[in-house]
Structures are given as structure tokens and as C-alpha cells.
């Protein structure tokens, strides 16, 4: 087995929850193989770089092994090398315009402060 369909591979290595989700991502232009848009039936071979945006996350992986059937998570993670860039950690800070839940509507003073903050005059 030297190649398989990209939608089947994405599903079998657990990057997509279902095969129709993987196929929809391909049809929507959210999957690229070696920088080229991939249709659901595009073959994938070891050494290919797959960039897939499924749901809210974008994953960049390199194909190490081609499988056609869904396997356990431990086995699936050996089929690719994750090359996804790390997201920089957000500094440990409190959001500027945070309000306690259930605190009600902002007062006139609070609204003016928010307007100044949004306008950059604070």
C-alpha cells in the first residue's frame, strides 16, 4: 500500500472526526498537499506535507506511513510527524474590559471608560 485518498487518510489518523468532515474540508479548499489544493480523492504518499484546517484548528503534518483503516490513537500518531507551528502563549494578564458575570448592565461611567479604551484615549 503506497498511497491512499487524502480524505480517508485524514480520517484514519484521527485528524478529522468523520470521513465526510475530511471530504468537506477538501472540497472547501481547506486541505493542501505540498502546497496544492487537494480534492478528496487526491492520493497521499509518505513524505507529503499535508496542511489541513478542520474545524477551528490548522494542522501541518508530514506523512510518515499510509494507512487505510482507522486505528487507535497511539498507532495513528505514528503515521505522521506534527509540524504545526506553536501558538505563542498569551501573557498572564486579565482582560482589560472584563466584567463579573451577573453584574448587570454597565453604568454610564463604565460605558464612557469602555469608549475611551476603544478609541485609544486611555
Q: Are 61 and 50 in contact (CB under 8 A)?
A: yes
104, part of any domain: no
Residue 120: other Cβ atoms inside 10 A: 6
Is the per-residue pLDDT at 101 higher than 90? Answer: no
What does the pLDDT look like over 28-62, one tens digit per residue? 999 999 999 999 999 999 999 999 998 888 999 99
108, part of any domain: no
Reported in sequence order, the residue ranges of 16-98 that DSSP labels E, i.e. its strands, are 31-33, 36-37, 43-44, 49-54, 57-63, 80-82
110, part of any domain: no
**d(C-alpha 101, C-alpha 106), whole Å:** 12
Domain CATH number, residue 8: 3.10.290.10
pTM of the model: 0.71
Residue 88: other Cβ atoms inside 10 A: 6
102, part of any domain: no
Is the per-residue pLDDT at 64 higher than 70? Answer: yes
Q: Which residues form the domain of 23?
A: 4-82
105, part of any domain: no
The pLDDT assigned to 122 comes to 56
Is the per-residue pLDDT at 89 higher than 60? Answer: yes
Of 9-18, 41-50, 91-100, least confident by mean pLDDT is 91-100
Q: How many domains does the chain have?
A: 1
115, part of any domain: no
Amino acid at each position: 500500500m503506497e498511497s491512499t485518498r487524502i480524505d480517508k487518510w485524514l480520517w484514519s489518523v484521527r485528524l478529522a472526526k468523520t470521513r465526510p468532515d475530511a471530504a468537506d474540508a477538501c472540497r472547501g479548499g481547506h486541505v493542501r498537499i505540498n502546497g496544492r489544493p487537494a480534492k478528496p480523492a487526491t492520493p497521499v504518499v509518505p513524505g507529503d506535507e499535508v496542511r489541513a484546517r478542520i474545524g477551528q484548528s490548522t494542522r501541518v503534518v508530514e506523512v510518515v506511513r499510509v494507512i487505510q483503516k482507522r486505528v487507535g490513537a497511539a498507532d495513528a500518531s505514528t503515521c505522521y510527524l506534527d509540524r504545526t507551528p506553536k501558538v505563542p502563549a498569551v501573557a498572564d494578564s486579565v482582560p482589560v474590559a472584563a466584567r463579573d458575570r451577573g453584574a448587570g448592565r454597565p453604568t454610564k461611567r463604565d460605558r464612557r471608560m469602555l469608549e475611551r479604551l476603544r478609541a485609544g484615549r486611555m
